[in-house]
């Protein structure tokens, strides 16, 4: 009996479940929130809001067009529905990062007009502009903010133009009509070739046989 109890004591620690490694599955268990605050031009303050980040989003060629800043760290994904998803890489160094400041402006006929400014938390890596005006050139600048005495680095800016919804509908309609016309032309060509091959050839052969002495 004592040898059997000794074997149980040695086997007990290996039967206990292992503790998960630090950081393993932390992102899958709970997705962090992105806190942000929108400030209208001429108005102070703003209401604090939260949104879930669009992790793993990739801009497809059919439904999206990507515009990058000169440094490549800021990307504006212009979607077909008129919204714009901004994505940026984590800034370096990450120590002392307090958040981001997003400034927006667009070109008018004679001057440049400011849009709403946005303050984002340090955990944010994207931001969605739900509606953007068509045929207007936008300029968005993102600047990281650090705790003093570290100065703020230069802002990363990206410029883009949103295609108007009416123009998108015209392009889609023209593409559909052009495809239908191409299919009809191919069908007509095949029909003419069939008639020429099967109907005209026997008739010509019969006429030639009747004319021969």
pLDDT band at 146 (very low <50, low <70, confident <90, very high): very high
- How far apart CA 58 and CA 50 sit, in angstroms, is 22
- How far apart CA 2 and CA 137 sit, in angstroms, is 84
Sheet containing strand 126-129, edge to edge, reads 64-68, 74-79, 84-88, 126-129
pLDDT for res 133: 79
Closest among 77, 48, 72, 49 to 61, alpha carbons compared: 77
All structural domains of the chain with their residue ranges:
34-163, 164-195
pLDDT score of 25 more than 50: no
pLDDT for res 69: 93
Report the CATH number of the 34-163 domain. 2.60.40.10
Predicted confidence (pLDDT) per residue in 163-195, tens digit:
775 444 444 445 555 556 777 777 788 777 777
By percentage, how much of the chain surpasses pLDDT 70?
65
Predicted confidence (pLDDT) per residue in 73-122, tens digit:
999 999 988 889 999 998 888 888 999 999 989 887 677 788 888 999 99
């Amino acid at each position: 009996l004592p040898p059997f109890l000794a074997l149980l004591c040695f086997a007990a620690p290996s039967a206990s479940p292992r503790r998960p490694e630090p950081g393993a599955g932390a992102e899958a268990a709970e997705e962090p929130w992105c806190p942000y605050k929108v400030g209208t031009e001429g108005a102070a303050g703003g209401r604090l809001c939260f949104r879930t980040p669009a992790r793993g989003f990739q801009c497809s060629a059919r439904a999206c067009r990507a515009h990058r800043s000169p440094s490549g760290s800021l990307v504006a994904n212009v979607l077909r529905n008129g919204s714009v998803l901004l994505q940026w890489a984590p800034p370096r160094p990450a120590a002392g990062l307090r958040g981001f400041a997003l400034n927006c402006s667009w070109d008018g006929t004679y001057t440049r007009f400011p849009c709403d400014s946005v303050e984002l938390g340090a955990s944010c890596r994207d931001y969605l502009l739900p509606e953007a005006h068509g045929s207007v050139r936008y300029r968005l600048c993102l600047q990281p903010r650090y705790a003093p005495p570290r100065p703020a680095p230069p802002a990363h800016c990206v410029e883009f133009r949103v295609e108007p919804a009416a123009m998108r509908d015209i392009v889609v309609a023209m593409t559909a009509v052009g495809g239908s016309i191409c299919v009809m032309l191919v069908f007509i060509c095949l029909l003419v070739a069939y008639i020429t091959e099967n109907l005209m050839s026997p008739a010509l052969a019969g006429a030639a046989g009747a004319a021969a002495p």
